Structure 1
Amino acid sequence: MANQGMKQRRTKKIKKFTNRMSSRLLFVFSVILIFMTVLIGRIVWLNHTDGVRYEKKVLSQQTYTSTTIPYQRGSILDRNGTVLAYSEKVYNVILDVYYALSEKEYAEPTKKALINSFEGVTEEKINKLYEEKKTSRYSIILKSISYEDMEKFKELAKADKNIQGVWFEEDYKRRYPYETLASSVLGFTTNDNNGNWGIEQFYNDTLNGTNGIEFGYMDSELKLEKNVKSSINGNTVVSTIDANVQRIIQDHIKAYIKEYDPDNMGVIVMNPNNGEILAMASNQEYDLNKPTDLTPFFTKDEIKGMTEEEKMNFLNNLWRNYTISNSIEPGSTFKPFTIAAALEENLIKPSDTFYCDGGEVILGTPVGCSKRTGHGEITLTQALMVSCNDALMQIVEKEGAKLFTSYQKYFGFGGKTGIDLPGEESGILFANDKLSKLDLAISSFGQTFNVTMIQMAAGYSSLVNGGYYYEPHIVKEVLNSGGSVVSTNDKKLVKLSVSSTTSDFLKEALLKTVAEGTAHGAQVTGYEIGGKTGTAQTYPRAAEEKLLSFIGSVPAKDPQLVVYVVIHNPKKVEKKKQSSALATEEAGAIMAEILPLLEIYPAADSDGAVTNTGKGTDNANKESTGNKENAGNTENSENSSNQENGQATNTQDNETQSSNQDTEQQTEDGFPVEGSIDPLPDAIGDNAGDNATADDTESQDNNSEYNSSGGND
């Protein structure tokens, strides 16, 4: 019985692992597993999104130092690989004051070594650090020393073991090896690697990289344990600029400034078949390595007398890119656009003729042509050749304000071209409902509205390349630090501006304008060049200051290059003698130098001999080339070729022939047909850079001051 009782008691102590208990255990295990999963997930997420911050927070509980590892900003190259801007590795001198004072024998040798090795480091500076920052582990003593200077100090430290606590931090300094070359295109950087103006600003994020960091942990024996996160260097930008062409145009501008002292001057060289800018410059150039240096422009006393605001105003104007940021009245260089619009709308035909009697009277106001006695009956081609205002006013009357302004916008005026540079302006146009008949007439030959040089270059390119409007651009491609292509800026077709028929007509007419008309000064021996001159009176009109220009393409029938030259108020030229010839001859001189460089060579005839299609800038003879390649062209049948003597046979009537001779005489005198010019009223048009809007300008219908528009070729 006793044994049975013992067995029963033992049986009662043994408990079975019931299903309920199993469920509870499984539930607890599941909760723990879920909690651990969430916790691990949270840790992974924090490490991924905010790991560096927490890492720094942990490190802040220890004795440590951290150093930024700077990235290298990408270089800027020209189209041929010439380095225009790069970041040179330099070194900052860092003093660990705490360590330099940790032993008595370290302090003086370290101080003397720093003073003797680096210019600008004084005893007072080191003593101040010793006194005020005894526990500092990171004090910058000097920035941007060279590798050679760093190595000299290291050799000194090797020779004297008591020189302690000095180390060197890598950094980069922006360098521009050609100083002023393409300054308005490249721009510059501040000390924090932020670009100002030009490519440096527009492509700032592309050129910049990402800093790395080096954590230094000091153990109990003052040994440094390092943890490094490497930096990522910036990308390299390959521009469309040709450094040699850029240097040539800048040299020409400097020489021109010295001789004629213009208020402003700009030159653009562009590939009309893809929108690439080969060169772009103005009279404002500066040393990119010292962008805030005023000494090249003012004396020391003048600089001392300037306020900070005056200094900044001057610098902002100096850094400004005139060719994209200033608006100008284009003058007669706009006439091809007026004609193109009328041709596209079938309002005129290439074979049409116009009678010029010296001007038009519009709403009681006489608007004169450049030739006061009139050109007589002329063809559409001749209207461009002799730059006849009267013919253009007759053409624009057929267009009307609404059509004219719509084509202005369609050709890219009144809006930004989209060029990849900061600071582009849109220009100023009249709204069609505020464009009076008088304003419309004057607008036909390029006054009353403002455009930018880049708008003109892009629009003109489309007129002569078959009608393709390409977005102008300054960067060709982007490379990574290893040299591989990251992205390319291929030509971007924005629109078809005109038909090929209109483009072909304009190329022929503009060729004759250079060969036989007002733009003869742009001729270069052996080359066929097409182009148009312009002379616009700037605001205020009473000042009689002029903006002289030429825009042209070469070869005329298959353009590979567009050159646009603008000169504002050359002060060393008597005002009455200021004419577009000054800009035209300058364009010819530039083209003569850059065409062979760009491997654009003179055309050769069937016998392999060079064909001279013009007088040339160095051979201003009176012979006509006869336009050999145009013989038999029905649109230009007035000039048939005499191939035996190279002279043209004029098929026009005596009146037209007399008109052409009169024109030739004017150009031979060095004063093309824009000749005598009466002032425009102040209210018509504005000077470059004026901020007024055309919409706010009152209609000039009843402006009794407006006697003539002769301010154009």
Structure 2
Amino acid sequence: MRNRNKSKVKKFTNKMQAKLLLVFSVLIISMMGLIFRLIQLNHEDGERFEKKVLSQQTYTSTTIPYKRGSILDRNGTVLAVSEKVYNVILDVKHLLGDKEYILPTKKALLSSYEITEEAMSDIINNKAESRYTILLKGISYEDMLKFKALQEKDSNIQGVWFEEDYVRKYPYNSLASVVLGFTSNGNVGNWGIEQYYNNELNGTNGVEYGYIDTELKLEKTVKSATNGNTLVSTIDANVQGIVQKHINNFIEEFDAVDMGVIVMNPNNGEVYAMATKNEYDLNNPADLTSFYSEADIKAMNDKERVDALSKIWKNYTISHNYEPGSTFKPFTIAAGLEEAVIHSTDTFNCDGIEIVNGVKIKCNKKPPGHGVITLTEALMFSCNDALMEIGKKEGSKLLYDYETRFGLGKKTGIDLPGEESGLLKKAKETTPVDLAVISFGQTNTVTMVQMAAGFSSLVNGGYYYEPHLVKQVLNDSGAVVSNKEPVLVRNSVSEETSKFLRQALFETVDAGTAKTAKVSGYKIGGKTGTAQKQPREDKRYIVSFIGVVPTDKPEAVIYVVIDDPQKGPQTAAAATAVASKILSEILPFLGIYPTEEIDTSGNVVVPVMPTGKLNTEEKAENSETEKANTEDENADAENQEDKVNQTDNENQQANQNQAGNDEQPNSTENGETEKTDDDESANDEFNMDALPFEDEEEAPPTGD
């Protein structure tokens, strides 16, 4: 029995082991091949198969918008912010899924929002398969809650949901509009900081996606949005508001083609305020009603409307090129002192006129001129004669090199779009006549920001800083991402030259041409300017004042430019009056307090704006004597007109010679260009208009 059982037991032979191994090998190879094929299909056609599968399911994906970063002033005041709003979204397909939903949902929408029944019917009839139709944009949180309260009361209100979004708001409307700029759809910055720092302010959208099952339950995944960074600007909202107020006051009373004011820190390039005539509503930047009549707006075609808006949005302080006039004189003097072609103890003999290559170029004080004056007095009384002598000693190459050292003729690099570079005449192209008028601020063109930055380097010890409007970048949580440190570009002059200029500029305000820039209790230095615009024969002017306070330790620079005042005098006295009024209000906000004795004598310290003609008594028995004693504030600007007239006369002479005519109109026998008596009398009368002084004795020797 035992032997019989043993005979039935089969052995697992080597042959059987080999067959089993073969079977396993085939299975493993097949599985590996299948895996390889799946990987291949996923790599080559995975996206196509995935879309095919998803198309058979209900899939939802919603963008989660990022919040654009805010813009703050230097003290944390919000100048631009993105506020959360809600878009009303209608899922038409879900609404039509049950007839019981349609009527109560329509009724709730019509009672909650400004939606017409016709619009609702149109959407339902034409977008039956739509899962995402925007009914309204930008509703408030309160308006959203109003509708949700109705949803809670009636379960048949279906197919409506709310999408988060953001809208850009400017709490102070037009404050710093040319600095801030604005945004258009899609968080695209236009002009100003909004454009220059667009990428810094913008973040990255998030997304919410998932599948809706047969029970209308959403299995979702959320990838959060990354909000943009916040910018802390160098602007002081209080100072900016005061500057804009005084610009508006001047424009309202006197009007001007344009006007700009810059207030900045000369020790680091930070801009406290930057304003122009055209400050517009940032919350409605395309609104022209503040600048044009309704009739004018209706008459505009699309191109004219775009041109009008571009003119309003453009920042005059960085985008307009002009001849600076006598505010350039400190730069000429600084170049001469640095290269030792002149010295602080030098004197100059002004006889009221200089003849350069046959062209008569007048001083602002007519013959017999200022007489023998010091270098400080040359600046105090804005003596063209002395400046032309200095310019001649320097030569065109040296003066050109220093112009570029002061940042003229090229962009400053300020963090704003639309900056112009101005235009300097190359040294090799400069004639002796060009050099003479360039020395006191004509022919070459500049921008306001160039002049403010260059002047700051003249008075701060010779350090040229890049002007800038953003000082710090914060993330969404308020942590510091980066600090915008001051950029020291170069040294422009020595401390010795800077010290001399500060004192000379102080004396210019204290007893020279800029007396009406005084503010009681403060040591203010500065220089006036009057530059004649093209075409010269129109006798229209850009008047200006550039100043520093306090002169012994500069903390603020102010630059006021008035482009062609339409009423009252076209003299720099208007600019000094505006500057004085602004400084008297803003200095405490900047933490700059009086260091001198306050004037309590009852004298007018801050001048009033000119309001009418100045009554003057006769000072001479005939017109020639009157001309010799009357101060001509615009004379330095007219010198360029003389130069142009000389060129025109030469061209006329050449043409007449070709025709056989030897007459030389408006020229003397020796070729010197001269004005007629009528021209000078008219100019004298013009300059007597509405000077901001109580009597003639208070007026400085010149208005420039």
Assess same fold via TM > 0.5: yes
Contact (CA 8 Å) 2:544, 2:561: kept in 1 or not? Answer: yes
- Give deviations 1:113-163, integer Å, cap 9, x for gaps: 1111111x1111111111111111111000000000110111112122221
Matched, 1:249 2:249: no
TM-score under structure 2 normalisation? 0.83
Counterpart of 1:288 (choices 267, 282, 285) is 282
AA aligned opposite 1:153: F
Q: Which residue of structure 2 aligns with residue 118 of structure 1? A: 113
1:672 CA displacement? 7.4
- Structure 1: tracts of 5 or more residues without a match: 1-5, 621-664, 686-701
Q: Distance in 1 between matches of 2:246 and 2:588?
A: 17
1:494-509 → structure 2 map (5 Å cutoff): 494-509=489-504
Q: Which residue of structure 2 aligns with residue 218 of structure 1? A: 212
Q: Which residue of structure 2 aligns with residue 85 of structure 1? A: 80
Contact (CA 8 Å) 1:240, 1:474: kept in 2 or not? Answer: yes
Q: Which residue of structure 1 aligns with residue 589 of structure 2? A: 597
Q: Which residue of structure 2 aligns with residue 333 of structure 1? A: 327
Q: Which residue of structure 1 aligns with residue 302 of structure 2? A: 308
Q: Distance in 1 between matches of 2:353 and 2:448?
A: 28
Go from structure 1 to structure 2 and tell me whether the alpha carbon gap of 1:16 and 1:99 turns closer, same or farther (over 3 Å shift).
closer
Contact (CA 8 Å) 2:351, 2:371: kept in 1 or not? Answer: yes
The alignment partner of 2:137 has SS state of strand
Q: Distance in 1 between matches of 2:527 and 2:52?
A: 69
AA aligned opposite 1:259: E
AA aligned opposite 1:215: Y
The alignment partner of 2:232 has SS state of strand
Contact (CA 8 Å) 2:318, 2:448: kept in 1 or not? Answer: yes
Q: Which residue of structure 1 aligns with residue 605 of structure 2? A: 617
Q: Which residue of structure 1 aligns with residue 131 of structure 2? A: 137
Go from structure 1 to structure 2 and tell me whether the alpha carbon gap of 1:580 and 1:65 turns closer, same or farther (over 3 Å shift).
same
Q: Distance in 2 between matches of 1:492 and 1:51?
A: 53
Counterpart of 2:519 (choices 505, 524, 527) is 524
Q: Which residue of structure 2 aligns with residue 485 of structure 1? A: 480
Q: Which residue of structure 1 aligns with residue 174 of structure 2? A: 180
Contact (CA 8 Å) 2:189, 2:198: kept in 1 or not? Answer: yes
1:591 CA displacement? 0.5
1:146-157 → structure 2 map (5 Å cutoff): 146-157=140-151
Counterpart of 1:558 (choices 553, 556, 567) is 553
Q: Distance in 2 between matches of 1:77 and 1:11?
A: 87
AA aligned opposite 1:204: N
AA aligned opposite 2:458: L
Q: Which residue of structure 2 aligns with residue 694 of structure 1? A: none
Go from structure 1 to structure 2 and tell me whether the alpha carbon gap of 1:232 and 1:117 turns closer, same or farther (over 3 Å shift).
same
Contact (CA 8 Å) 1:602, 1:611: kept in 2 or not? Answer: no
Go from structure 1 to structure 2 and tell me whether the alpha carbon gap of 1:385 and 1:521 turns closer, same or farther (over 3 Å shift).
same
- Structure 2: tracts of 5 or more residues without a match: 1-6, 609-625, 646-669, 684-701
Contact (CA 8 Å) 2:365, 2:632: kept in 1 or not? Answer: no
Q: Distance in 1 between matches of 2:61 and 2:606?
A: 67
Go from structure 1 to structure 2 and tell me whether the alpha carbon gap of 1:707 and 1:404 turns closer, same or farther (over 3 Å shift).
farther
Go from structure 1 to structure 2 and tell me whether the alpha carbon gap of 1:435 and 1:97 turns closer, same or farther (over 3 Å shift).
same
Counterpart of 1:189 (choices 175, 183, 188) is 183
Tell me how large the CA RMSD over aligned residues is: 3.6
Q: Which residue of structure 1 aligns with residue 432 of structure 2? A: 437
Matched, 1:475 2:470: yes
1:445 CA displacement? 0.5
Go from structure 1 to structure 2 and tell me whether the alpha carbon gap of 1:182 and 1:92 turns closer, same or farther (over 3 Å shift).
same
Q: Which residue of structure 1 aligns with residue 655 of structure 2? A: none
The alignment partner of 2:641 has SS state of coil
Counterpart of 2:580 (choices 561, 583, 588) is 588
- Give deviations 1:413-437, integer Å, cap 9, x for gaps: 0111010011101001111111111
Q: Distance in 1 between matches of 2:50 and 2:307?
A: 47
Go from structure 1 to structure 2 and tell me whether the alpha carbon gap of 1:375 and 1:56 turns closer, same or farther (over 3 Å shift).
farther
Contact (CA 8 Å) 1:541, 1:679: kept in 2 or not? Answer: no
1:527 CA displacement? 0.6
Go from structure 1 to structure 2 and tell me whether the alpha carbon gap of 1:122 and 1:257 turns closer, same or farther (over 3 Å shift).
same
Q: Distance in 2 between matches of 1:254 and 1:58?
A: 65
AA aligned opposite 1:582: A
- Give deviations 1:593-624, integer Å, cap 9, x for gaps: 111221211115xxxx658999763489xxxx
Q: Which residue of structure 2 aligns with residue 514 of structure 1? A: 509
Q: Distance in 2 between matches of 1:171 and 1:364?
A: 71
1:70-469 → structure 2 map (5 Å cutoff): 70-119=65-114, 121-373=115-367, 374-469=369-464
Contact (CA 8 Å) 1:218, 1:224: kept in 2 or not? Answer: yes
Go from structure 1 to structure 2 and tell me whether the alpha carbon gap of 1:364 and 1:54 turns closer, same or farther (over 3 Å shift).
farther
1:316 CA displacement? 0.4
1:52 CA displacement? 11
Go from structure 1 to structure 2 and tell me whether the alpha carbon gap of 1:514 and 1:61 turns closer, same or farther (over 3 Å shift).
farther
Q: Which residue of structure 2 aligns with residue 579 of structure 1? A: 571
Q: Distance in 1 between matches of 2:482 and 2:557?
A: 26
Contact (CA 8 Å) 1:245, 1:594: kept in 2 or not? Answer: yes
Go from structure 1 to structure 2 and tell me whether the alpha carbon gap of 1:218 and 1:612 turns closer, same or farther (over 3 Å shift).
same
Q: Which residue of structure 1 aligns with residue 691 of structure 2? A: none
Q: Distance in 1 between matches of 2:581 and 2:671?
A: 41
Q: Distance in 2 between matches of 1:54 and 1:531?
A: 76
Q: Distance in 2 between matches of 1:278 and 1:544?
A: 34
Q: Distance in 2 between matches of 1:57 and 1:74?
A: 40
The alignment partner of 2:345 has SS state of coil
Q: Distance in 2 between matches of 1:526 and 1:55?
A: 78
Matched, 1:537 2:532: yes
Q: Distance in 2 between matches of 1:37 and 1:545?
A: 84
The alignment partner of 1:315 has SS state of helix
1:681 CA displacement? 3.0
Counterpart of 2:641 (choices 681, 694, 710) is 681
Go from structure 1 to structure 2 and tell me whether the alpha carbon gap of 1:206 and 1:682 turns closer, same or farther (over 3 Å shift).
farther
Go from structure 1 to structure 2 and tell me whether the alpha carbon gap of 1:53 and 1:479 turns closer, same or farther (over 3 Å shift).
farther
Q: Distance in 2 between matches of 1:52 and 1:199?
A: 42
The alignment partner of 2:531 has SS state of strand
Contact (CA 8 Å) 2:85, 2:139: kept in 1 or not? Answer: yes
Go from structure 1 to structure 2 and tell me whether the alpha carbon gap of 1:371 and 1:226 turns closer, same or farther (over 3 Å shift).
same
Go from structure 1 to structure 2 and tell me whether the alpha carbon gap of 1:279 and 1:55 turns closer, same or farther (over 3 Å shift).
farther
Q: Distance in 1 between matches of 2:113 and 2:428?
A: 70
Q: Which residue of structure 1 aligns with residue 688 of structure 2? A: none
Contact (CA 8 Å) 1:324, 1:452: kept in 2 or not? Answer: yes
AA aligned opposite 1:360: E
1:222 CA displacement? 2.4
Contact (CA 8 Å) 1:544, 1:679: kept in 2 or not? Answer: no
AA aligned opposite 2:339: E
